[in-house]
Amino acid sequence: MPAATLDAFLNSYLGPPDELRSAVVATVRQLTQAATKIRNTINQGVLGTAFAGTRGANADGDIQKDLDIFADDIFLDAMRHAPVALYASEELEQPVLLDRQAPLAIAIDPLDGSSNIDTNVSIGTIFSLLPATGAPDGNPAASFLQAGVNQLAAGFFIYGPQLALVLSLGSGTHVFVLSTRLGTFVQAYESRIIPQRTQEFAINTANYRHWDEAVRLYIDDCLEGTEGPRGKDFNMRWIASLVADCYRILMRGGVFLYPGDKRKGYRQGRLRLVYEANPIAFLIEQAAGAATDTITRILEIEPESLHQRVPMVFGSAREVARITRYHIEPSAIGERAPLFSRRGLFRA
């Protein structure tokens, strides 16, 4: 039996007439068209007109690349043709009002993994669809200050060996791949389930000296392998591309950590809650995984500002729960006895 196309999947989601569902479907279709244009530009690499040149910094202080701005322009233009009231982006200080009568608000990271643009590593686009609330032209940010549990849909495109769309409409996490032969997205994986247990973690260990003790202890225990309290060997991965790390975890399990640390500007983490952490957490939970800020469920956090940052841990549910225990009740981890008696593997 041939795999379902994205169009067939979206049509099955529609069901009886429903304004919000119809709006979600129309918006996802516009997003796929925009992502395909961006994929075509990325495929040209340095031969194209928009690639890895530096523009300056965005409203939150991060370096902008030419491709960041190009992608943002493409998605913003696409949303002008979708039932979207408000468009909020990593690249813009304030949301853009598009259609005050439309039912949706979209929060987007137009190009995740910018540091990898010129190294031919997978990058992507992350998006979150929310119901537009209040008076859009009164306080445009209000629609984005909702807890992630209110998301109607979330997903990301990954520009890698294939152009893939990871999408959840609130009932499972599904993966579609663009078929150049058919000229459409085709379902590659239905309702991904992340294994509860794992032997693989993703973290940037160059920041070890800046981490809180709980994170150091967790990584120490993993690195000690079969000789340590975990009693098994772990592999480490770190791509510095959120979509690529998330895609790997959806495919084979694992856990991702981007904790806050002691560096200036990193205490509250670096990932943006509204348009990075929330959509990723939505996808992960719909795949039977878990996502926290090391302690609190990401999707329950009430945003205080559009560009708010947050620490993040996500992936295999039992491993995420274990990391939480390292932070709040380390004495409950029975195999660590006594908990604080050993010196870390990286310590002198």
Is residue 348 a part of any domain in this protein?
Answer: no
pLDDT-based confidence at residue 139 (cuts at 50, 70, 90): confident
> Given this model, what pLDDT does residue 345 score?
41
| pLDDT for 344 | 44
Peptide bond preceding 338: is omega within 30 degrees of 0, i.e. cis?
Answer: yes
Least confident of 40-44, 133-137, 218-222, 258-262: 133-137
Report yes or no on 346 lying in a domain: no
Consult the annotation and say whether 276 binds a ligand: yes
111 is in an annotated binding site: yes
- In CATH, what number is assigned to the domain containing residue 30? 3.30.540.10
Within a domain: 343: no
State the Cα–Cα distance between residues 304 and 168, nearest whole angstrom.
25
On the question of pLDDT at 52 being above 60, the answer is no
Look at residue 343 in the predicted model and tell me its pLDDT: 43
pLDDT in tens, 60-115: 666 678 899 999 999 999 999 999 999 999 999 999 999 999 999 999 999 999 88
Q: For the segment 169-198, what is each residue's pLDDT rounded down to a tens digit?
A: 999 999 999 999 999 999 999 999 999 999
Place 340 in a pLDDT band, splitting at 50, 70 and 90: very low
Q: Is the residue at 98 inside a domain? A: yes
227 occurs within a structural domain: yes
At 57, is the pLDDT very low, low, confident or very high (cuts 50, 70, 90)? low
Q: How many other CB atoms sit within 10 Å of the CB of residue 83?
A: 21
CA–CA distance, 17 with 22 (Å, rounded to integer)? 8
Does one domain contain both 98 and 150? yes
CATH number for the domain spanning 219: value is 3.40.190.80
Between β-strands 290-292 and 309-310, what pairing exists: parallel, antiparallel or unpaired? unpaired
Please say whether the dihedral angle defined by the alpha carbons of residues 98, 102, 108 and 110, taken in this order, is positive or negative: negative
Q: What pLDDT shows up at residue 44?
A: 84
pLDDT computed for residue 346 by the predictor: 39
Domain match, 133 and 239 both: no
Say if residue 137 is in the same domain as residue 245. Answer: no
Residue-level pLDDT at 187: 97
- pTM for the complete prediction? 0.93
> Which of 5-9, 51-55, 120-124, 228-232 comes out lowest in average pLDDT?
51-55
pLDDT on residue 56: 57
% of the chain exceeding 70 in pLDDT: 89
Residue with tokens 């399990």: 253
pLDDT digits (tens, 9 = 90+) for 197-239: 999 999 999 999 999 999 999 999 999 999 999 999 999 999 9
Q: Which of 44-48, 93-97, 231-235, 285-289 has the lowest mean pLDDT?
A: 44-48
Residue 347 lies in a domain: no
Where in the sequence is the domain holding 210, given as residue range(s)? 200-332
Other Cβ atoms within 10 Å of 45 Cβ, number: 12
pLDDT of amino acid 119: 86
Average pLDDT, the chain: 91
Return the percentage of the chain with pLDDT > 90, whole number. Answer: 80
Q: What is the mean pLDDT of residues 33-53?
A: 81
To the question of whether residue 150 is assigned a binding role by annotation, the answer is no
**What CA–CA distances, in Å, run from 150 to 6, 130, 199?**
23, 7, 32
Output the CA angle 149-154-156, nearest 5 degrees: 145
**Residue 90, annotated as binding a ligand:** yes
Q: Is 210 helix (H, G, I), strand (E, B) or coil?
A: helix
* Pair (207, 184) in one structural domain: no
Same domain as 253, residue 317: yes
224 labelled ligand-binding: no
**182 and 208 housed in the same domain:** no
112 assigned binding-site residue: yes
Could you tell me which residue, 201 or 117, shows the higher pLDDT?
Answer: 201
- Tell me how many domains the chain contains: 2
**Binding site annotation covers 285?**
no
Instruction: Please answer whether residues 44 and 55 qualify as being in contact, where contact means their C-beta atoms are separated by less than 8 angstroms.
Output: no
Residues 37, 101, single domain; the answer is yes
